[in-house]
Chains A and B, each alone.
Chain A
Amino acid sequence: MTDDLDNDRRGFLKCMAWAGTGALFAFDGGIGSSIGLDSALAAPLKRASAQPFTFAQISDSHIGFNKPPNADARATFREAIAKVKALPNRPDFVIHTGDVSQLSRDDQFDDAEQMLKELGLPVFFVPGEHDMLDENGGKAFLNRFGKGSKGAGWYSFDHRGVHFVALVNVADLKPGGMGNLGAEQIKWLGADLAGRPSSQPIVVFAHIPLWTVYADWGWGTDDSAQALKLLARFGSVTVLNGHIHQITQKIEGRVAFHTARSTAFPQPAPGTAPSPGPLKVPSEQLHSMLGITDALFVRGHDRIALIDSTLTA
């Protein structure tokens, strides 16, 4: 699966003509191969190699959404998948940072799953709040996309020396609050990170931003500081989120935060509208609102490049 990857990182970055809705990530270091969640969870820690790899992030597909500005969120999701498939360097896997569905309906989850199968790649999920709306508060999502995960759907795995942590901050939300990880998950995170060398690159992904983008709209996670404290000793931490349907980024110390665009509809910039509801852009603008910003992170020995692109051809 990764044989065609270029060993030369610079050359690799040059040819990343990525055009998807999410972000594409490149790492140096590590060995191993891409695998599904079940086997990833069981895999031993593998570290240290010079071979780069990429993975792609897609987010907020909201399958089932059919209102302005996007009458068919399935169609734009299909376009995003086609963009991932067309990447010059095949990613080792894809992460979906939540809100797979609009209303947690089985047909919505199933459509998403069937469309993602076209990738022929492992896909790692975390739920968004729209994926928790079945009568059992997220069981439908977990049964389909979270096999082998713990609690409300959290897990971790290693890939080519990079440690990936999938966190859930949309379960058991508190009145008046924002996103929430909860004591049980934070305790698990502490145990998961314990004993790992501080030099190991860490990627954390979760649906709602793990830093406060805009509290008035609930765009943050109440107890994220406790999680970030556990991550503070690591030299390279990348936090990837969705939820807000636009790119925001921040670097704080050795932690890089980044949110991805949606494949379904844009949302307004913080505080620029009466509510965070869908931004009703004209149809000819929609595809460009599902992407446009390029970003490149260069980090010490474990640089991570992020390149966001749009659905425009």
Chain B
Amino acid sequence: MTPAMKILTFQASALAVGTLMIATVADMAKAAPPPAAAVQIANFTFKNPVVTVKPGTTVTWTNADDIPHTVVSKDGLFRSKVLDSGDRFSFTFAKPGQFGYFCSIHPHMTGMVIVKA
């Protein structure tokens, strides 16, 4: 084998290994759960009224009260149906920003999702 061929072989090997690594990383990313956050609704409050998440995070609200509630964004971005006891509502926040929301049935209940990279 000439030195030139050796170098070529090495480059090919490195390329193969590199490709494998990229594929592995991609597979790992695919396997990891998407970013998520949870907000409990209890005692007529959003228990964690301010949550800070990264873009792409799915926030899930769960109504743990005996009384129905809703989750409605102040700027119209999202609006749940009425959530009876145990019902859930999810919304995925794609872009950074501050997203205030409230319960349209009990409007003194307010919360905020802060999305930043």
Which residues of A are found within 8 Å of B82, using beta-carbon distances? Answer: 103-104, 133
Contact of B66 among A132, A135, A277 (CB under 8 A): A277
Bound CA span A173–B107, Å: 6
Which residues of B are found within 8 Å of A175, using beta-carbon distances? Answer: 74, 100-102, 107, 110
Bound CA span A7–B106, Å: 45
Using known A-B contacts A104-B82, A275-B65, A277-B65, determine if residue A133 contacts B105 with beta carbons closer than 8 Å.
yes
Interface residues on B, range: 20 to 34
Bound CA span A277–B66, Å: 7
B residues 92-117 touching A (CB-CB < 8 Å): 100-102, 104-108, 110
Q: How far is the CB of B113 from chain A (nearest CB, A)?
A: 14
Chain A: interface residue total (CB-CB under 8 A): 25
B residues 57-99 touching A (CB-CB < 8 Å): 65-68, 70, 74, 81-82, 84-85
- A-B pairs with beta carbons under 8 A, tally: 57
Answer whether residue A44 sits at the interface, using C-beta atoms and an 8 A cutoff: no
Which residues of A are found within 8 Å of B44, using beta-carbon distances? Answer: 217, 275-277
A173 touches B68 (CB 8 A): no
B108 touches A67 (CB 8 A): no
Using known A-B contacts A103-B84, A275-B45, A277-B43, determine if residue A178 contacts B68 with beta carbons closer than 8 Å.
no
B107 touches A177 (CB 8 A): yes
Answer whether residue A129 sits at the interface, using C-beta atoms and an 8 A cutoff: yes
A103 touches B107 (CB 8 A): no
B105 touches A129 (CB 8 A): yes
B residues 22-81 touching A (CB-CB < 8 Å): 42-45, 65-68, 70, 74, 81
Pairs A-B, 4 closest by C-beta atoms: A275-B43, A175-B102, A218-B108, A173-B107
A-B contact pairs, 16 of them (CB 8 A): A102-B68, A103-B82, A129-B106, A132-B105, A133-B70, A175-B74, A175-B101, A175-B110, A176-B102, A176-B110, A177-B107, A215-B108, A216-B108, A217-B108, A218-B106, A218-B108
